[in-house]
């Protein structure tokens, strides 16, 4: 295996990732399970895909664009048999049991509305089905040992290798729905921190949505925890401009990059421009972003999904989430445009207006200097009269020829 290079800028040190990440499975809690989703295998899903002909059976949703819908996905957990289940051998995996429509995001229900329950939002990338995204969300939440609720946002990817440009347009088209989803979470009083893991093309969608949230609700961005871009398929110049537009929000961002990511090499040739997930970490560190250099960690064909397959990368992501939980105080939930019943709804009441500062007194007027008298007018002599010259007599007219 190639030498492991883990250059991390900021608060995520290499030694913590290596020492804690060498274990094959997440740490077990007092209930003997590695994560909350392992014991309560459900996740909330928001999708902008069209409903399949039979919405109660696989594939549940198609590949075309549609109005945003909220569903609850019930899964079969490989840990349901207890600590010594087949999950420990790796011979059992997650499966979707049912997908049911719901009217509101089923998150933070266990908190009783008192706040403090974190949420992990997963945004998938290119060439991914609804089912594949849901299973990846469950696997990721479990691998991170996440304590809280898991939400998956699924945009209408075609699920085809040759559908790159169509997927790119559908991802951008879904940014308003993702913005509304994030606003719904921001306004929920039962939620603590909101963490995001966005993969590949999903990173482009997430940056666009976050930029829109920042433009309208910048005072509530501290309710977000860790925002992780795993192998982000984003143009580096566009990404840099968006990061700078969002003030100090870059401090919450972590980028997992790899200079040997072959999938991003292909996307760079298709979309043009260098991709964030494949540039040298020094370029990203200039933006003040924490960077995980995963170059050389994979011997796979594309080397594009290390956040799902490599325990060291997963440990760094889990550490970023844990560090964000120890951050400063969060703003209270705010009434903003949210996602309800599959549609964006207007808030019942706008946030209170801020008092204007007291008016400052104008400086006293200064007296003008006294007017100076004008000099007396001098008499003007009229010009001498000019005698008119007598008009010259016209010559006598000549008779017309006969």
Q: What is the pLDDT of residue 145?
A: 97
The residue among 384 and 292 whose pLDDT is bigger is: 292
Q: Residue range 56-60: average pLDDT?
A: 95
pTM above threshold 0.85: no
Query: According to the 3-state scheme, what is the secondary structure of 192-242?
Result: EEEEEEEECHHHHHHHHHHHHHHHHHHHHHHHEEEEEEECCCCEHHHHHHH
Looking at the predicted structure, is the pLDDT value of residue 59 above 50? yes
In a domain, 129, yes or no: yes
Q: What is the pLDDT of residue 139?
A: 97
In a domain, 94, yes or no: yes
Looking at the predicted structure, is the pLDDT value of residue 7 above 60? no
Structure tokens at 330: 């969060």
Using CA atoms, how far residue 151 sits from 49, 104, 335, in Å, is: 16, 12, 21
> How many other C-beta atoms can be found within 10 angstroms of the C-beta atom of residue 286?
10
Looking at the predicted structure, is the pLDDT value of residue 366 above 70? no
Mean pLDDT, rounded, of the chain: 79
Using CA atoms, how far residue 25 sits from 2, 311, 384, in Å, is: 23, 8, 118
Q: What is the pLDDT of residue 398?
A: 52
- Split at pLDDT 50, 70, 90, the class of 338 is low
Q: What is the pLDDT of residue 20?
A: 34
What sign for the dihedral angle of Cα 334, 340, 344, 345? negative
Looking at the predicted structure, is the pLDDT value of residue 66 above 60? yes
Q: What is the pLDDT of residue 272?
A: 82
Specify the number of domains making up the chain.
1
Of 19-28, 85-94, 301-310, 366-375, give the lowest mean pLDDT range.
19-28
In a domain, 306, yes or no: yes
Q: What is the pLDDT of residue 148?
A: 96
Q: Residue range 301-315: average pLDDT?
A: 85
CB 196 within 8 Å of CB 121: yes
Range of the domain at 49: 14-327
Q: Residue range 202-210: average pLDDT?
A: 98
Of 116-120, 153-157, 305-309, give the lowest mean pLDDT range.
305-309
Q: What is the pLDDT of residue 372?
A: 53
Q: Any idea which residue has 């003040």 for tokens?
A: 288
Looking at the predicted structure, is the pLDDT value of residue 383 above 80? no
In a domain, 393, yes or no: no
Looking at the predicted structure, is the pLDDT value of residue 364 above 80? no
The residue among 5 and 306 whose pLDDT is bigger is: 306
Of 12-26, 42-56, 75-89, 370-384, give the lowest mean pLDDT range.
12-26
Count helices and strands (H / E) in the chain: 11, 11
Of 187-196, 215-224, 322-331, 379-388, give the lowest mean pLDDT range.
379-388
In a domain, 348, yes or no: no
Q: What percent of the chain has pLDDT over 90?
A: 56
Looking at the predicted structure, is the pLDDT value of residue 94 above 80? yes
Q: What is the pLDDT of residue 109?
A: 73
Q: What is the pLDDT of residue 395?
A: 52
CATH number at residue 154: 3.40.50.1820
In a domain, 366, yes or no: no
d(CA 64, CA 174): 12
Structure tokens at 336: 């903003």
- Split at pLDDT 50, 70, 90, the class of 21 is very low
Predicted confidence (pLDDT) per residue in 215-248, tens digit: 999 999 999 999 999 999 999 999 999 999 999 9
d(CA 385, CA 109): 108
In a domain, 58, yes or no: yes
Structure tokens at 12: 């995520």
Q: What is the pLDDT of residue 401?
A: 47
> How many other C-beta atoms can be found within 10 angstroms of the C-beta atom of residue 402?
3
Q: What is the pLDDT of residue 243?
A: 97
Using CA atoms, how far residue 17 sits from 5, 21, 165, in Å, is: 12, 5, 36
The residue among 6 and 277 whose pLDDT is bigger is: 277
The residue among 204 and 15 whose pLDDT is bigger is: 204
Predicted confidence (pLDDT) per residue in 178-200, tens digit: 999 999 999 998 999 999 999 99
The residue among 307 and 72 whose pLDDT is bigger is: 72
Listed ranges 276-280, 326-330, 331-335, 362-366; the one with the highest mean pLDDT: 276-280
């Amino acid at each position: 295996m190639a030498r492991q290079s883990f250059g991390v800028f900021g608060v995520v040190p290499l030694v913590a990732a290596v020492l804690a990440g060498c274990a094959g499975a997440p740490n077990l809690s007092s209930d003997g399970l590695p994560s909350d989703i392992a014991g309560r295998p459900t996740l909330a899903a928001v999708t902008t895909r069209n409903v399949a002909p039979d919405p109660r059976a696989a594939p549940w949703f198609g590949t075309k664009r549609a109005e945003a819908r909220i569903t609850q996905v019930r899964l079969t957990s490989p840990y349901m048999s207890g600590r010594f289940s087949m999950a420990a051998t790796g011979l059992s995996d997650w499966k979707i049991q049912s997908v049911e429509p719901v009217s509101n995001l089923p998150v933070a229900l266990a908190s009783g509305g008192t706040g403090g329950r974190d949420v992990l939002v997963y945004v998938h990338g290119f060439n991914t089905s609804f089912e594949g995204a849901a299973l990846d969300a469950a696997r990721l939440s479990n691998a991170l040992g996440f304590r809280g609720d898991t939400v998956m946002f699924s945009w209408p990817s075609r699920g085809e290798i040759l559908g790159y440009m169509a997927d790119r347009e559908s991802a951008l088209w879904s940014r308003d729905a993702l913005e509304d989803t994030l606003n719904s979470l921001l306004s929920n009083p039962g939620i603590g921190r909101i963490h995001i893991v966005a993969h590949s093309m999903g990173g482009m969608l997430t940056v666009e949505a976050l930029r829109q949230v920042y433009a309208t609700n910048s005072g509530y961005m501290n309710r977000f925890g860790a925002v992780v871009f795993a192998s982000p398929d984003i143009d580096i110049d566009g990404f840099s401009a968006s990061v700078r537009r969002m003030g100090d929000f870059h401090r919450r961002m972590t980028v997992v990059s790899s200079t040997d990511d072959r999938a991003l090499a292909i996307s760079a040739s298709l979309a043009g421009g260098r991709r964030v997930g494949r540039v040298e970490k020094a370029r990203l560190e200039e933006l003040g972003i924490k960077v995980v250099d995963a170059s050389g960690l994979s011997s796979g064909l594309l080397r594009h999904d290390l956040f799902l397959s490599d325990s060291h990368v997963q440990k760094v992501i889990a550490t970023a989430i844990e560090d964000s939980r120890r951050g400063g105080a969060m703003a209270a939930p705010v009434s903003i445009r949210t996602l309800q019943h599959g549609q964006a709804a207007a808030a019942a009441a706008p946030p209170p207006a801020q008092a204007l500062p007291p008016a400052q007194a104008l400086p006293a007027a200064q007296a003008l200097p006294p007017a100076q008298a004008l000099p007396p007018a001098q008499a003007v002599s009229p010009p001498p009269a000019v005698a008119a010259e007598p008009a010259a007599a016209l010559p006598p007219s000549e008779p017309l020829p006969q």
